[in-house]
């Protein structure tokens, strides 16, 4: 499988393809041409063919793509069903909401539990998963070889917990703290969801509309 130098833009489109293919499969569709897929996703057919060509040959000229095999191929590329393990660090409302909706996030991962500093929730359960004392975080990550930490702590605690996770050998941090984490050169992968950035892109476009109308 070819994989060298795949651009970030291509990587970020892969989950969109997967969602679209899931939708199509859910509607009972079996095949789709790159033309039709492109129209439905706002991409050109040649862009789609180019994206997929980074990973090998998925379609057959003139026959389009088999939806089920394409889903499996893309799912495989995206690391689904590899049994990656995840923990939640910060069991507040946002973290709890993420865990409770976690089934929509990825198939074939293993969720191990949550960590928090609040004595009132340590020892309770979220969706059946235990909530541990955050003091145990480093040892737990070392003992269980955890792959991914979902970081949903308040901003002021973000870097301290990142340091603990990094030292314990975590492989990846999914960052919801609205701050940039410093992980150093050999540190874990970091993927951030910055709510405020997304909101400000929306208000940017509103402001643009308003300014255009004033002109």
**Interacting residues with a copy of itself (CB under 8 A):** 3, 11-12, 14-16, 18-20, 76-80, 82, 84, 92-94, 96-98, 100-101, 104-106, 109, 147-148, 155, 171-172, 174, 178-180, 189, 191, 193-211
b/e map 45-63, b = 16+ CB within 10 Å: eebbbebbebbeebbeeee
Q: Which is nearer to a copy of itself, 47 or 178 (CB)?
A: 178
Best CA proximity match to 91, nearest among 61, 108, 111: 111
Query: Residue 195 CB, nearest distance to a copy of itself (Å)?
Result: 6
Q: Smallest Cα–Cα separation from 95: which of 126, 54, 69?
A: 126
Output 6 or 117, the one with its CB closest to a copy of itself. 6
Minimum Å gap between C-beta 18 and a copy of itself is: 7
Residue 149's CB is within 10 A of a number of other CB atoms, namely: 27
**What's the closest the beta carbon of residue 109 comes to a copy of itself, in angstroms?**
8
Instruction: Pick the closer one to a copy of itself by CB: 105 or 135.
Output: 105
Residues 191, 175: Cα–Cα separation, whole Å: 6
Measured in degrees and rounded to the nearest 5, phi and psi for residue 40 equal -70, -20
- Shortest distance in whole angstroms from residue 38 CB to a copy of itself: 14
Query: Looking at beta carbons only, is 118 or 199 nearer to a copy of itself?
Result: 199
CB of 91 to a copy of itself, least distance (A): 12
Nearer to a copy of itself by Cβ, of 5 and 61: the residue is 5
User: What distance in Å separates the CA atoms of residue 155 and residue 67, rounded to the nearest whole number?
Assistant: 42
In terms of CB distance, is 126 or 161 closer to a copy of itself?
A: 126
DSSP state of 102: G
DSSP type of residue 86: E
Residue 206: count of CB within 10 angstroms of its CB: 9
Please name the helix (run of DSSP H) or strand (run of DSSP E) that holds residue 197, with its range, or none: helix 195-214
Task: Quote the least distance from Cβ 31 to a copy of itself, whole Å.
Answer: 21
């Amino acid at each position: 499988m070819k994989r060298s130098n795949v651009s970030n833009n291509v990587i970020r489109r892969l989950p969109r393809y997967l969602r679209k293919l899931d939708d199509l499969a859910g509607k009972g569709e079996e095949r789709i041409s790159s033309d039709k897929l492109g129209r439905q996703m706002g991409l050109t057919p040649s862009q789609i063919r180019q994206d997929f060509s980074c990973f090998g040959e998925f379609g057959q000229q003139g026959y389009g793509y088999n939806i089920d095999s394409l889903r499996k191929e893309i799912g495989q590329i995206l690391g689904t069903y590899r049994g990656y393990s995840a923990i939640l660090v910060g069991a507040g409302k946002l973290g709890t909401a993420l865990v409770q909706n976690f089934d929509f996030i990825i198939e074939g991962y293993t969720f191990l539990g949550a960590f928090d500093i609040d004595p009132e929730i340590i020892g309770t359960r979220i969706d059946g998963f235990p909530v541990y004392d955050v003091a145990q975080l480093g040892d737990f990550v070392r003992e269980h070889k955890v792959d991914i930490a979902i970081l949903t702590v308040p901003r002021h605690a973000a870097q301290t917990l990142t340091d603990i996770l990094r030292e314990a050998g975590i492989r990846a941090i999914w960052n919801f703290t609205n701050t940039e984490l410093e992980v150093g050169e050999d540190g874990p992968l970091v993927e951030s969801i910055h709510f405020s950035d997304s909101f400000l892109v929306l208000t940017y476009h509103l402001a643009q509309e308003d300014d255009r109308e004033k002109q």
